[in-house]
Amino acid sequence: MKKALFNRSLITYVTGSLLITVIIGLVLSQFIENNWILLAMLLLQYIFFLLMLLYIFNKYIKPIDEAIHSVNQLLKGNYRSRVHISSPGQIGELGQQINALARSLSELSIQEQMHSEQLSTVIENIDSGLVLVDDKGYIHLVNRKFLSIFGKQTKDYVGYIYYEVLRQKEIQETVQDTFLYEKSMKHSLIKENDTDQRHLEIVGAPIFNERHLLKGAVIMFYDVTEFKKLELMRKDFVANVSHELKTPITAIKGFAETLLDRGHEADTSEYFLNIIYDESVRIQALVEDLLMLSTLEHETFQLQLATFHLKDAIDDILPSIKDHAAKNKVSLHADIPHNLLITADQEKIKQVIINLLTNAINYTPIDGEVNLTVEDKREQVVIYIQDTGIGISSEHLPRIFERFYRVDKARSRHTGGTGLGLAIVKHIVETHKGTIDVDSKENEGTTFSIYLSKHSQ
């Protein structure tokens, strides 16, 4: 009844007062003969009703109506809504409490929005793929990293049951095991792409509510491709070092045992000693290259920077390189600008050029050419080493800077190579904040391009 009373509009009460006044007038007309007196009394009585009605409406009905409207706005999420009630007493206190509630809800909404944005930022920017699955198997969330791994868009995953859109057996087993055993589960997945493959580690973690009931699971995808590559490189490194050392050590041991058996002629002994010497030189070169790589990769390594004329530095090493080229019947040409100053580690730059020129000569057939060209490009120096040698096939190009990787294993060992030269070259160039590129075609030749800043820091 109270609700019906306060829900009426003001015009309704005005009309009702007028109707009551008319009824009273009809009753009083039986007792009062003077119509003017009766009319005056009814007018005063109607004005009194209107004043009382206006007072009650402004003090009680209107504030309550405003409070109801404000509460409805809060329920709709409009936390900026406020009640403007100046009435004293409980109605005024009600308005203040509603306003206090609105302020609290507004603050909570702002905090919740901030936390939501922070959480969304973290989820979107973590370096691992993430999928949120509810207790019925529906996907509710996928992050940016997941999309970069598996492709497609968010709409292609969210709202679907996981096994409808994630077809990989390993992913489905991770989700199933996580729900079945209600604990973190782990699986591995190799995802094949058009150009390469990715090694992924899938970890599923269950989500529980406050009553420890399973409500869903978070599935994380860690890209461990680089770790797998490093592990493979480590295994290859150990195997290659063992293999590289085994051959010369076996030769040294065998010929030394032969020499220990007396009765050999002087010529034979000298032949054996020469072999032992050559193999020991090979071991020494291998150990020196390994130490060089270790030094370059050490975090405390620092370049010995100095400003020098690049032509003078290259001229220091060219005589021995030209002698080596002449022995191999290969033409060597150098074109280096005069007065080209560069700030770098002079000895390391010399080593880069020596390694690349030696390789170019070793892999260039008789009557071939090797050209060393230096270009001055404002703040950068570009060194080109070009040969007309046997070239490198496209399948080998991505790996030629790996340790011990040889395109032609037999010829590389025959020329005394350790398989570490190009790895050392790459490390030296990158330590100078430079880059090195290679362009090659089989039976046509190879060109190495080194880009260095004139002012290394």
Say which residue, 189 or 292, is predicted with more confidence: 189
pLDDT of residue 1: 41
Q: Which option is the CATH number for 228-297: 1.10.287.130, 3.90.226.10, 1.10.760.10, 3.40.50.300?
A: 1.10.287.130
Q: Determine contact, residues 15/46, Cβ cutoff 8 Å.
A: no
Give residue 53's Cα distance to chain centre: 70
Q: What are phi and psi of 210, to 5 degrees?
A: -65, -20
Regarding the domain delimited by 126-223, which CATH topology (the fold level of the hierarchy) does it fall under? Beta-Lactamase (3.30.450)
pLDDT of residue 427: 86
For 144-149, the CB contacts below 8 A with 24+ separation are 145/221, 146/221, 149/191, 149/198, 149/200, 149/221, 149/223
pLDDT digits (tens, 9 = 90+) for 226-274: 888 777 777 666 666 666 677 677 777 776 777 766 555 666 777 777 7
List every span in the chain annotated with CATH 3.30.565.10.
305-453
Alpha-carbon gap, residue 427 to 161, rounded angstroms: 49
Which H or E run contains 103? Answer: helix 89-125
Q: Determine contact, residues 13/49, Cβ cutoff 8 Å.
A: no
pLDDT digits (tens, 9 = 90+) for 178-222: 999 989 999 988 887 766 778 889 999 999 988 888 899 999 998
CATH class of 305-453: alpha beta
Confidence at 330, pLDDT banded by 50, 70, 90:
very high
Q: Which residues of 416-437 are buried (b: 16+ CB within 10 A; e: fewer)?
A: ebbbbbbbbbbbbbebbebebe
Confidence at 353, pLDDT banded by 50, 70, 90:
very high
Above 90 in pLDDT, residue 372? yes
Pairing assessment for the beta strands 435-441 and 445-453 based on DSSP bridges: antiparallel
Alpha-carbon gap, residue 180 to 160, rounded angstroms: 20
pLDDT of residue 87: 65
Cβ count within 10 A of residue 287: 13
Q: Determine contact, residues 282/416, Cβ cutoff 8 Å.
A: yes
Torsion of CA 357, 364, 441, 380, to 10 degrees: 20
Tokens 């040409």 belong to: 333
Cβ count within 10 A of residue 181: 11
Amino acid letter, residue 212: H
List every span in the chain annotated with CATH 3.30.450.20.
126-223
List every span in the chain annotated with CATH 1.10.287.130.
228-297
Task: Report how far apart, in Å, the C-alpha atoms of 350 and of each of 108, 180, 314, 387 are.
Answer: 66, 63, 7, 19
pLDDT digits (tens, 9 = 90+) for 31-90: 776 777 777 777 777 777 777 767 766 666 677 777 777 778 777 777 777 776 666 666
Closest to 162 (Cα-Cα) out of 144, 180, 147, 174: 174
* C-alpha torsion sign, points 118, 123, 124, 128: positive
Amino acid letter, residue 296: L
